[in-house]
């Protein structure tokens, strides 16, 4: 892995399995993903869950806001069927475990990574703005501490578009690597007076395509670069050329094979 970027599964193997489900993350690990990326939100009763959108219309096909619902309410919903709505009509489709298509708690994902047969890293994005503000970061660090993953040898890094959230994490624990996510060409420079030298740059793939020299300058200045979401061979090649340390992808297996073989389709 020293000669290529780390392959990070974006919300699991989300190109083929419903994002943020246990099934998606297990599939990503089985494909060889070296790290798992997830988004985390806080429920009304204080549980951290892996959900990207603030509302449930896209992934659970119903009205509702994650932060206003309790975990028990979310556990009643199906977070997987939207990905393949015709699965019941496909006689050749493999049987799916309904438990793996339910809302996934952060605790369960940490347990899955901890118990897997090989080391697994995690890239956890705290979502903002949220009605709970800094409570999300405090709950996350508390949970990581239960796993003894809030210290210097933690496999976890925390990501956010909010520099306030990242500074909050740094105050709660000085040990976790921090990734400042960005989708605009001026965000990295504007963050410099309020960030710390060891922050990792997290540009989106669209930004990398439009401003490759910016990313090259960031890398050459000594900052680590983690890019999201990298799915196409030309994008993989560009990120490698620019010195990216990690590629966050919807297709961890094919991306890993492409990097290792240098050929084939992603």
- 10 assigned to active site: yes
Q: Give Cα 75 to chain centroid, integer Å.
A: 21
* 129: preceding bond cis by omega (within 30 degrees): yes
Q: Reduced to 3 states, what is the DSSP secondary structure of residue 22? A: helix
Q: Which of 20, 47, 52, 211 is catalytic?
A: 52
The span from the CA of 172 to the CA of 165, in Å, is: 11
Q: Which of 10, 20, 47, 226 is catalytic?
A: 10
User: Is beta strand 6-10 parallel, antiparallel or unpaired with respect to 246-249?
Assistant: parallel
User: Is beta strand 121-126 parallel, antiparallel or unpaired with respect to 48-49?
Assistant: unpaired
Tokens 């080391």 -> residue:
119
Residue 257 near residue 7, CB atoms below 8 Å: no
Q: Reduced to 3 states, what is the DSSP secondary structure of residue 175? A: coil
Task: Write phi, then psi, for 16 (nearest 5 degrees).
Answer: -120, -15
- 20 assigned to active site: no
Active site residues: 10, 52
């Amino acid at each position: 892995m020293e000669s290529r970027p780390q392959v990070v599964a974006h919300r699991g193997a989300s190109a083929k399995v419903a994002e943020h489900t246990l099934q998606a993350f297990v599939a990503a690990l089985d494909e060889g993903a070296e790290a798992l990326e997830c988004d985390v939100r806080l429920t009304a009763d204080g549980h951290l869950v892996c959900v990207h959108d603030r509302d449930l219309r896209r992934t659970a096909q119903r009205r509702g806001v994650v932060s206003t619902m309790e975990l028990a309410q979310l556990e009643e919903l199906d977070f997987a069927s939207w990905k393949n709505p015709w699965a019941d009509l496909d006689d050749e489709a493999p049987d799916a475990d309904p438990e793996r298509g339910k809302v996934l708690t952060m605790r369960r994902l940490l347990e899955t990574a901890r118990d897997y047969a090989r080391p697994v890293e995690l890239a956890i994005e705290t979502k903002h703005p949220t009605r709970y503000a800094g409570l999300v970061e405090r709950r996350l660090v508390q949970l990581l501490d239960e796993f003894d993953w809030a210290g210097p040898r933690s496999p976890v890094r925390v990501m956010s578009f909010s520099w306030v959230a990242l500074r909050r994490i740094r105050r709660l624990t000085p040990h976790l690597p921090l990734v400042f996510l960005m989708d605009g060409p001026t965000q990295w420079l504007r963050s410099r007076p309020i960030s710390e030298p060891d922050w990792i740059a997290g540009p989106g793939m669209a930004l990398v395509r439009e401003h490759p020299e910016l990313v090259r300058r960031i890398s050459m200045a000594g900052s680590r670069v983690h890019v999201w979401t990298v799915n196409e061979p030309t994008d993989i090649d560009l990120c490698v050329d620019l010195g990216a340390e990690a590629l966050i992808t919807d297709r961890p297996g094919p991306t890993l094979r492409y990097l290792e073989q240098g050929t084939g389709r992603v």
